[in-house]
Amino acid sequence: MTVLLTLSIVIFVTIAIWQMVKIFDLSQVGTNNNQIATDKDNKVNGYLMMAFLVFIYAITIYSVVKWGDLPLLSNSASEHGPTIDKLLIVSLIIIFIVQTVTQFLLHYFAYKYRGEKGKKALFYADNNTLEAVWTIIPVIVLAGLIISGLFAWTNIMNPDFEDEDPLIVELYAQQFNWKARYAGADNVLGEANVRLINIDRANILGVDENDPYAQDDVIVSELHLPVNRPVIFKMRSQDVLHSAYMPHFRAQMNCVPGMVTQFAFTPTVTTQEMRENPDIQDKVARINQIRLDNQQDVLDRGQELRYDFDYLLLCNKICGKSHYNMQMKIIVETQDEFDEWMAQQTVFENSLN
């Protein structure tokens, strides 16, 4: 019944708009209108162009003020994070300047040079100097961006951890959850392949049971990382493409069935420190207020009402029905806390049935 009602409302609204437009249309009959812009049209639309410019600026300012204070932008939690953030901010400033100037010229010219009867446009077809200017300026700006971007990219993708004893962790993706496998005391991951998966023996990651390196591996569903120690992630997927997205660490890499991909970073801020960061506290307070205002919805979802900040690993490559809820909590802690936690985990050889 409600469906019928809503549909009829939608149909009525459509008809109403249609009729209004028709009246609007009919009201011009007999005004000798050949449907080509007149001086008056040029004037009205010229002014509207300026109004639209104001609208663009207003929406820019509003967005920056209202949503521009993104803790994610200013609070990276990895060693390479500030490099990316700085580059992003420089790029955003360049974009902002170019956007402001070019949109002004475009809309101002549309207003300033609006047509009038009897006016003649300037016959001005080419100017090599001008062309050269706006070819060379982008070249210079882009050269700067490309060079700094490439340096950042190369450093991020080919990190040099020689003396730092990086932690080796496998991220394992499946529809629709994450597992992490630590390399254990030897810090070498045991061989694995999905063909070795044996659900009956609880070997869910297909780790080679005969590989000596595999025996001390540790498989968990909550990722713990010691602060200030480099981590090399080896990503695998058992079914479809997934993407391991860790926005707080400015880290992302796809998980591809049939191959092992890699991403490495050094976490620099513990979960506890991040929770005490004033920016994050503001954000958390804001979120908790929203959750309180929508209490019933939150409880209906089966979530806890109170939100506490946590680092997250999200799936960021479309992977099926529950793609929107494929996540794993990440906890960054001190080496001591990490060791204590690790000591409580079961190693692979003891986890088999």
Please give the biggest Cα pair distance in the chain.
92
User: What's the distance, CA 233 to chain centroid?
Assistant: 20
Residue 336 and residue 190 in contact, taking contact as beta carbons nearer than 8 Å? no
Distance between start and end Cα atoms, the chain: 56
Among 28, 334, 335, 346, binds another protein (CB under 8 A): 28
Query: Does 320 contact another protein by CB under 8 A?
Result: yes
Residue 71 and residue 286 in contact, taking contact as beta carbons nearer than 8 Å? no
Query: Does 254 contact another protein by CB under 8 A?
Result: yes
Angle CA 266–242–186, to nearest 5: 45
**Residue 278 Cβ, how far from another protein at the closest point, in Å?**
16
Q: How many CB atoms lie within 10 A of CB 108?
A: 14
Query: Does 234 contact another protein by CB under 8 A?
Result: no
Among 33, 296, 350, 353, binds another protein (CB under 8 A): 33
The residues in 89-148 that bind another protein, with binding defined as CB under 8 A, are 91-92, 94-95, 98-99, 102-103, 105-107, 109-110, 113-116, 119-127, 130-131, 134-135, 138-139, 142, 145-146
**Residue 40 Cβ, how far from another protein at the closest point, in Å?**
10
User: In what side-by-side order are the strands of the sheet with 167-174?
Assistant: 218-220, 177-182, 167-174, 231-237, 261-265
The residues in 171-210 that bind another protein, with binding defined as CB under 8 A, are 175, 193-195, 197, 199, 206
**Residue 237, SS3?**
strand
**Of the listed pieces 81-89, 180-188, 216-224, 336-344, which binds another protein according to CB under 8 A?**
81-89
Query: Does 295 contact another protein by CB under 8 A?
Result: no
Among 56, 188, 232, 347, binds another protein (CB under 8 A): 56
Residue listed under structure tokens 């506490």: 308
Query: Does 297 contact another protein by CB under 8 A?
Result: yes
Among 12, 54, 93, 153, binds another protein (CB under 8 A): 153
